[in-house]
Structure 1
């Protein structure tokens, strides 16, 4: 056996945009197979196949256009989507080809071509070298790959279960600490609740431009400041919406029960930073430690309050400054508040250490998967 260029045996046909398409299955119509269809078996559209490229269950498809170019999947019976291509190779079984292409995803995805929508570079794929053994040997290699992947999958499932258990543990930590504090008082006794800047087209004309926080910057007890945008404001708006270190930040809403009321503390890392109206600000009045309030608001009791007041008649979830003002916080003196913070922080630090170990192991599992494929197609099996 010798190394050959993949292009010498490769056959690739691009999918077509259907002439006739329907979101519902009709007589004579088959699934229009896009990325979602081959990844999850979920079909959003059907077509009668006029001017389309047919595919059968198990055919190998590769993404040709978009951010996921180079991704490989297996088809269901239907017609190939316009951003995909059906790919075969002379002398290679479908599964052998499938795993060969899986091992090239990182290369193909990072070396796409085109300045607008990225595209798969077929020339790069054609130049890949490989060994094409006999069919029995291909089947043996595939079996070995799948055995190793099965063991990896079991390990990954255990790691993911551990992450879920850690999330449950976090809530148990919060609940155990706050459950012994019976008295509740309005959040407005401890924080001044105010709204932010409303975006509009006229803001670009205003002379003062300043950085501001958006929903995309605020998560549960975490800020993502990797992308900060500027906005035009008036002097009076600056005074009203300027953030100060230790301000509470509430996400106003996006309709989702799990994401409504995400809350974090502003760390002051960007000077002269404002916030838009979809972020509600809680300015400390000096009689409650912000972290004490934060930990309660992301605990089970706090989350229940937030979702109860946020639910609308339409079934969606959204907050407002008035709704946030209706929240209540367990009350204790400052000394006790600091003890609560210390206890939670201590117990969560152990949790975070375990989670970092789990995340590292998950990343190593992905690297191991690629290592198995590399070894398989370089004669290591």
Structure 2
């Protein structure tokens, strides 16, 4: 509404327009809170500056949607832009400004400017400036709440490319408590979040160390440390361990190539691809079919107990493998997956899988692989030459038993940590939901109504 017309309206009409009608209010608030529209508490809701970014320092930094990651901005990676002094004064970012993504998959994502950085904001962002009488941290936390995100989703519906413009953003229902209560809510949120963040850091550190702990367990097992007492009870020593090439202990079966010339009667059969063979498990959510000559089926058929190895791809795919347990009847494998069939009297399939997934196994495959940028591959000759630490078959079985127990415990702990991290995120959402309902135990019903605060904001002085 134009300023002149706004001044001509009565205070009663202005207040009525600033309040959310009772039948449109999302839920009931404490008595001294009010529902208003976001636009009423903002002095500015503005689109950003359109310009080409540059890595050269030709002007101020140009903050873009993509620069806002995980709730923060790495200003050292934000590019620069060229801008006139007049335009700079219009788009310069100041501390306590809030920028909001207005288009794409991240529509609604927000960031509170907390430091002095010589910067402007790009056109796919909306800059929100809050009235100085109000608390900008309270608004920023509101923009993390389910109440905010639910309205963003609703406002962005019906558009091929998700988006919320400045006009729509200003129509959002906003729960306004008294000013002192806004600060108490911010303090309570930050106190509770700090405790949760501390717990999250401890859980994340423990989760991040999972692979290190697993590698240490495998190293102890595959160098005989975990079975030292067992060997002693069996009257054995480490002299019973031999190192032998894999080809002496197993048959290495190469796989079926797609697009091969066919000269006889064919059929279609399920087959495993690299995507199906993960590090220590199989992903069988998508199994494809391949055309194969009937007289070649036995040549490429998988057998229970085969250890599957991937030829390569990304470094993390190199040599990874797991044991085939005949999950699918009559299944073949493609040429980028090797099937290693151990001689059961001298090599245990699960022992081999553990050895291959250990730091020792991964180091071997990486060291002998053919490498290009971010890619690595091995061939059957290198796989056959893999030096296997080979204790007696009964000690291999004991190692597998111990590892199964220890790794299962680690996996269980990992799962619980992942659940805890999810719960911490849910707890934060719950805290925010309670905060904007006035249910954090901070509200003082004797305080002056937020209606008086709104009068100061919307009525001409």
Q: How does 1:304-323 map to 2 (within 5 A)?
A: 304-310=363-369, 312=371, 317-323=376-382
Q: How does 1:286-365 map to 2 (within 5 A)?
A: 286-287=344-345, 288-310=347-369, 312=371, 317-365=376-424
1:5-28 Cα shifts (integer Å, max 9, x gaps): 44665765455663x333x22322
Deviation at 1:314, TM superposition (A): 6.4
- Given that 2:49 and 2:91 are in contact with CA atoms closer than 8 Å, whether structure 1 keeps it comes out as no
Q: How does 1:23-42 map to 2 (within 5 A)?
A: 24-28=55-59, 30-38=61-69, 39-41=72-74
- Given that 1:62 and 1:85 are in contact with CA atoms closer than 8 Å, whether structure 2 keeps it comes out as yes
Q: How does 1:41-56 map to 2 (within 5 A)?
A: 41=74, 43=77, 45-49=79-83, 54=91, 56=93
Q: Hey, what's the Cα distance between the residues in 2 that align with 1:15 and 1:239?
A: 65
Aligned to 1:371: 430
Q: Hey, what's the Cα distance between the residues in 2 that align with 1:286 and 1:314?
A: 38
Structure exhibiting the larger radius of gyration computed from Cα positions: 2
Q: Hey, what's the Cα distance between the residues in 1 that align with 2:307 and 2:168?
A: 50
Aligned to 1:282: 340
Aligned to 1:163: 207
- Given that 2:269 and 2:292 are in contact with CA atoms closer than 8 Å, whether structure 1 keeps it comes out as no
1:193-244 Cα shifts (integer Å, max 9, x gaps): 34445567x99xxx96654444443322122333x15355342776554444
Q: Hey, what's the Cα distance between the residues in 1 that align with 2:297 and 2:251?
A: 17
- Shifted more, 265-274 versus 292-301: the winner is 265-274
Change (3 A) 1:367 1:284: same
1:135-186 Cα shifts (integer Å, max 9, x gaps): 4432332222111111111111111222234433222221112112642111
Aligned residues: 374
Structure 2 residue 151 is the aligned partner of structure 1 residue 93: no
Change (3 A) 1:346 1:233: same
Q: How does 1:98-247 map to 2 (within 5 A)?
A: 98-104=140-146, 107=150, 113=157, 118-119=162-163, 129-180=173-224, 182-196=241-255, 211-226=270-285, 228=286, 230=288, 232-235=290-293, 240-247=299-306
Change (3 A) 1:73 1:348: same
- Shifted more, 238-247 versus 286-295: the winner is 238-247
- Given that 1:33 and 1:43 are in contact with CA atoms closer than 8 Å, whether structure 2 keeps it comes out as no
- Given that 2:126 and 2:166 are in contact with CA atoms closer than 8 Å, whether structure 1 keeps it comes out as no
Match of 1:62 among 92, 96, 100: 100
Kindly report the root-mean-square deviation, in angstroms, between the aligned alpha carbons of the 2 structures: 3.8
What is the DSSP-based 3-state SS (H/G/I as helix, E as strand, rest coil) of the residue aligned with 1:192? strand
What is the DSSP-based 3-state SS (H/G/I as helix, E as strand, rest coil) of the residue aligned with 1:153? helix
What is the DSSP-based 3-state SS (H/G/I as helix, E as strand, rest coil) of the residue aligned with 2:365? helix
TM-score by length of 2: 0.68
- Given that 1:88 and 1:97 are in contact with CA atoms closer than 8 Å, whether structure 2 keeps it comes out as no
Unmatched 5+ stretches in structure 2:
1-32, 225-237, 441-461
What is the DSSP-based 3-state SS (H/G/I as helix, E as strand, rest coil) of the residue aligned with 2:143? helix
- Shifted more, 238-247 versus 362-371: the winner is 238-247
What is the DSSP-based 3-state SS (H/G/I as helix, E as strand, rest coil) of the residue aligned with 2:62? strand
Deviation at 1:359, TM superposition (A): 1.8
Deviation at 1:344, TM superposition (A): 0.8
Q: Hey, what's the Cα distance between the residues in 1 that align with 2:200 and 2:254?
A: 43
Change (3 A) 1:176 1:35: same
What is the DSSP-based 3-state SS (H/G/I as helix, E as strand, rest coil) of the residue aligned with 2:244? strand
Structure 2 residue 309 is the aligned partner of structure 1 residue 250: yes
Q: Hey, what's the Cα distance between the residues in 2 that align with 1:45 and 1:241?
A: 54
Deviation at 1:377, TM superposition (A): 0.9
Higher relative contact order (CA 8 A, sep 6+): 2
What is the DSSP-based 3-state SS (H/G/I as helix, E as strand, rest coil) of the residue aligned with 1:363? helix
Change (3 A) 1:108 1:128: closer
Change (3 A) 1:357 1:244: same
Unmatched 5+ stretches in structure 1:
none
Structure 2 residue 302 is the aligned partner of structure 1 residue 260: no
